[in-house]
Amino acid sequence: QQQVKQSPQSLIVQKGGISIINCAYENTAFDYFPWYQQFPGKGPALLIAIRPDVSEKKEGRFTISFNKSAKQFSLHIMDSQPGDSATYFCAASFHSKLTFGTGTRLQVTL
Amino acid sequence: EPEVTQTPSHQVTQMGQEVILRCVPISNHLYFYWYRQILGQKVEFLVSFYNNEISEKSEIFDDQFSVERPDGSNFTLKIRSTKLEDSAMYFCASSAGTSYEQYFGPGTRLTVT
């Protein structure tokens, strides 16, 4: 199974709040899990990534939590800002082929 | 900071015509990719390319598609006879290795009329 399931489809968070986006996968051969941020009309920009031998990775306000046994991983955006409003895609990689989730449209309100 | 560039930003073509989308990957990267994104949908893998040959391709990448690295800097995607359903954003990406981060270009919006 090559699918990566992502939820929620859309998310509204107040400024300063925590945004949480979840992904699940089936293929245990996936060995790399990046998150991409995409603004309208732009290409996906790599945000943060994790490998399955690590349970958590933090970069600034962005944290990936990875649960290998549950085959789930999530993105947490702390202190969410209006500039974070974008579509977020999780992805999983095997042999360098990225399989993307369906995307989460995040809106951060004032 | 090095980045992937793509030209043109928007291409309009008639059904049945050939189009070539161009990409300049990051200079020291060795692996190159094409993805597409139909409006409002997820990004889908098309093909990966290394050492002047295709490493992997998806079921979308049929005989109408081809890729080429014509010189030391460009990487191209050719669609031989475009269909209406080929209308999408096409993204080029590159990486230093198979276990390394993939960096995406800004995309080419292809509109087939």
Of B45, B55, B105, the CB nearest to A98: B45
Yes or no, beta carbons of B35 and A98 under 8 Å apart: yes
At B45-82, the pLDDT tens digits run 999 999 999 999 999 999 999 999 988 789 999 999 99
pLDDT at position A1 is 57
Compute the mean pLDDT over every residue in chain A, rounded to the nearest whole number: 94
At B13-22, the pLDDT tens digits run 999 999 999 9
Residue spans of beta strands (DSSP E) within chain A:
4-7, 10-14, 19-25, 33-38, 45-50, 56-59, 62-67, 72-77, 86-94, 97-100, 104-109
pLDDT at A3 over 60: yes
The two beta strands, B10-13 and B108-112, are parallel
For residue B106, give the H/E element and its range.
none
B56 contacts in chain A (CB < 8 Å): 95-97
Query: CA B65, CA B77: separation in Å to the nearest integer?
Result: 7
Sign of the Cα torsion B20, B11, B26, B61 reads: negative
A34 contacts in chain B (CB < 8 Å): 101-102
